[in-house]
Structure 1
């Protein structure tokens, strides 16, 4: 097989290779398979890449699926609208992925921002002091809102982000996650988990913040038993097979995203579906906002006589969390919609983590705060990010706002689109 090396500027148009080496600026324009891929420069992949080993010491941007037996990241890997699967993953640099990362063994000793992380054994540490892949990441470190635009996800140099983590064994320090499911869990160094599912041994130090711990047998038949995480292939059939079936009420629908040409196509058989049942799925994290909107639009088309002003009662769990879902007619209002900026949420009392698509007013926040518009709040124990002006008390970590900033004190990096006024005592 051929060996392909790019030392200046060049492109690869797909095929099979013994090795692909990029020391300059290279681009993959078609599907490729190789025994080994080495990136020491800048690499952009717009084709599916399959390899025995992928080593990234420079910067790689990937827009199609990446599969490898062994993936090593000492530089920077950005994956958008694609999945990463491997037998083993070791990251001592930076990794971001807007879809899924899956491997039997995952070891992260750098910085990560991942939507879904699946594995058998997962170890995450956040040691940003030893992390340096050039001026680009240094720039993103101080301008986090531009980092989100570039990477497609929020990130922080203070902690690792993984929205959903599912594995057999998890050892993590400095991890922020919405949902964690594992048989055995060890959490240290200011981990922040909204909901933790664990039926086995748990070791959690006092610095960690856990919103809810659920220690019970698996009750959702649509999810696999925790013992099913024995192999990557078994996990792919559930976590990455992209075929999800829910039987929670009197109808059956299947979400399919296996084909790139039908990334969000849905085959829906709806009999007695109601708005409430769709919202329950959205609330439980089983469907995304786009999927909920598509189902709602389908429901409307099957009931042309229904009134857009009809109200539906929705029951939520009594877990102390505030959830607001807004509709324009029957269309679900999503993050980024212009109408979201006209909404203002006011909450009195302390909160763990707050995320609001519109304007936000609240008291002290123990964790992170994120708002699409302006924000007025008390002290914040984590990061703050908002699209408008910000007025608050002490901020324990980084702050980024699109307008002016007025606060008591900031203990991290500051980025503001307007004036900055720090009122130290």
Structure 2
């Protein structure tokens, strides 16, 4: 978002309870309980209390460390959420960081998305996606690059040119497609890895699997996965997988602990 000339713009501030009418602002600050009534455009908005926006909001920089509700569309540049945020419309940003909880009822479209908390959206389109928390997309997810660890649930197609993810809880996608696909179970490092081994030994994580109907890519590497069909040029099926059909072109490696019902070289 291009910065509007701040020398000619007013500021809006709520430190108790109040309302800011729609318009164009330099900076808006809500540290109490506030309402943005009407469409708002601002160079920056910060919400550390409780804020509700009743119109469309466009912000160059947005920081939410409290609770925010956007009843229509939200757009702008760099958005950072460390509190709780709900967007009832669509969301279009250059970059969004979520270390708290964020729910978008419409499509989330951003150049970069970083999640270390919890993100839920209707659908997601991005160039770069990094997750170290939980992600839920109720429709398709499209990303050039998707890296991280944690858990994801994609109820449509997860399409990523480069997918490298380590899941620590059950993860699901109806279909996964891309060039390089590597989805494995995460065991941590050092003490966390030892603790993870102990949890596996007790059998507490036997349901921590990746589930999908179809996974298709040039290079596919999986473990702890339950998948109906896997297609790829080079396929590696690691430990504790249950695969219905594997169709491969060049090579297929299967761990002895995994079950593949049918193998077909194309």
TM-score (norm 1): 0.42
Kindly tell me: are residues 5 and 31 of structure 1, through their superposed partners in 2, closer, same or farther at Cα, counting changes over 3 Å?
Answer: same
Q: Tell me, yes or no, if the aligned pair for 2:179 and 2:217 is still in contact at 8 Å.
A: no
Deviations 1:63-110 (A, max 9, x none): 111111100001111112x01111010011110111111101100000
Equivalence map 1:10-409=2 (5 Å): 10-80=18-88, 82-126=89-133, 159-163=134-138, 164-172=140-148, 173-179=150-156, 180-189=158-167, 190-206=169-185, 207-215=208-216
Match of 2:253 in 1: none
| Offset from partner CA, 1:208-251 (integer Å, 9 cap, x none) | 4132234269xxxxxxxxxxxxxxxxxxxxxxxxxxxxxxxxxx
Give the conservation status (yes or no) of the 8 Å contact 1:54–1:70: yes
Distance in 2 between residues matched to 1:34 and 1:161, nearest whole Å: 29
Measure how far apart 1:204 and its partner are. 1.2
**Partners of 2:106 and 2:122 within 8 A in 1:** yes
Gaps of 5+ in 2: 1-8, 186-207, 219-227, 230-266
User: What is the rounded CA distance, in whole Å, between the counterparts of 2:128 and 2:49 in structure 1?
Assistant: 31
In the other structure, the counterpart of 1:3 is 11
Shift of 1:39: 0.2
State the structure with bigger RCO (CA 8 A, min sep 6), 1 or 2.
2
Q: Deviations over 1:289-332 (max 9, x none)?
A: xxxxxxxxxxxxxxxxxxxxxxxxxxxxxx79xxxxxxxxxxxx
Aligned to 2:179, the other structure's residue is in SS state coil
- Per residue, is there more helix in 1 or in 2? 1
Q: Which has the higher strand share?
A: 2
Unpaired segments of 5 or more residues in structure 1?
Answer: 127-158, 218-318, 321-425
Deviations 1:341-379 (A, max 9, x none): xxxxxxxxxxxxxxxxxxxxxxxxxxxxxxxxxxxxxxx
Aligned length: 186
Q: TM-score, normalised by structure 2?
A: 0.66
Contact 1:196 1:210 in 2 (8 A): no
Q: 1:201 to 1:104 in 2, by over 3 A?
A: same
Q: Any conservation in 1 of the 2:181–2:217 contact (CA below 8 Å)?
A: no
Cα pair distance change 1:30/1:17, threshold 3 Å: same
